Chains A and B, each alone.
Chain A
């Protein structure tokens, strides 16, 4: 089995600050994802990447940048933190190039608080 490691687990930032979240996976999966989880709103897709240096926008990409530096890592940057950014950010990976039959494997999340 593999594991997805997200760092940091807790991130406290100031309003307007640029903040970076990191994700590493050792499944050797091709596709990686960033989701945001807000209470009562489920998971919403921010970005995904089907291979190194590929980036695809999800429904919630505004205000975020992403970077797939290598197959095993995927970073997410909050370009200017806002008060309503208090949420849990979840990284996930899957084995193929995106498709209906794939299981997503999630990390345990980064909890963001903006002061």
Chain B
């Protein structure tokens, strides 16, 4: 079983709509989370990190972390066609030897 699991695998939303992506860690040591976005033909780029319980908002993007359930979500409001990309959730350990573990990604398509 992958340590970081994402759902759904793919998602389509209309332009201006809300996109919601989910991620869960199966290892309690991995509870620091990142969201990365990858456009076709490019490398992933960091969107935001979240390390504390609750919400973190950056522009149209809001991440929500529940440490008790090791669940993190990413919500994109007013989705734009340029938001169409592969979104990765990644988790890292509390301390010690670190490693950033990536999920398998959610492919988001925003339809004009």
Binding site for B on A (CB under 8 A): 4, 35, 40-45, 58-59, 90, 92, 98-101, 103-109
Query: Can you give 23 A-B contacts (C-beta < 8 A)?
Result: A4-B43, A41-B104, A42-B2, A42-B4, A42-B88, A42-B102, A42-B105, A43-B102, A58-B99, A98-B98, A100-B32, A100-B92, A100-B95, A101-B49, A103-B46, A103-B49, A104-B44, A104-B46, A105-B46, A106-B44, A107-B43, A108-B41, A109-B43
Looking at the assembled complex, report how far the CB atom of A79 sits from the nearest CB atom of chain B, in whole angstroms. 23
* Docked pose: A15 CA to B108 CA in angstroms: 35
Contact call A100/B88, Cβ cutoff below 8 A: no
Looking at the assembled complex, report how far the CB atom of B59 sits from the nearest CB atom of chain A, in whole angstroms. 17
Residues of B within 8 A of A98 (CB): 98
From residue 56 to 102 of chain B, which have CB atoms closer than 8 A to chain A? 88, 90, 92-95, 98-100, 102
* Docked pose: A92 CA to B100 CA in angstroms: 12
**Dominant SS at the A interface?**
loop
Looking at the assembled complex, report how far the CB atom of A21 sits from the nearest CB atom of chain B, in whole angstroms. 14
* Docked pose: A4 CA to B93 CA in angstroms: 26
* Docked pose: A92 CA to B45 CA in angstroms: 10
Bits for B15-52, please: 1 = Cβ < 8 Å to A, else 0: 00000000000000000100010000111111001010
Contact call A42/B104, Cβ cutoff below 8 A: yes
* Docked pose: A4 CA to B42 CA in angstroms: 11
Given A100-B32, A100-B93: A45 and B100 interface contact (C-beta under 8 Å): yes
Contact call A40/B104, Cβ cutoff below 8 A: yes
* Docked pose: A89 CA to B43 CA in angstroms: 10
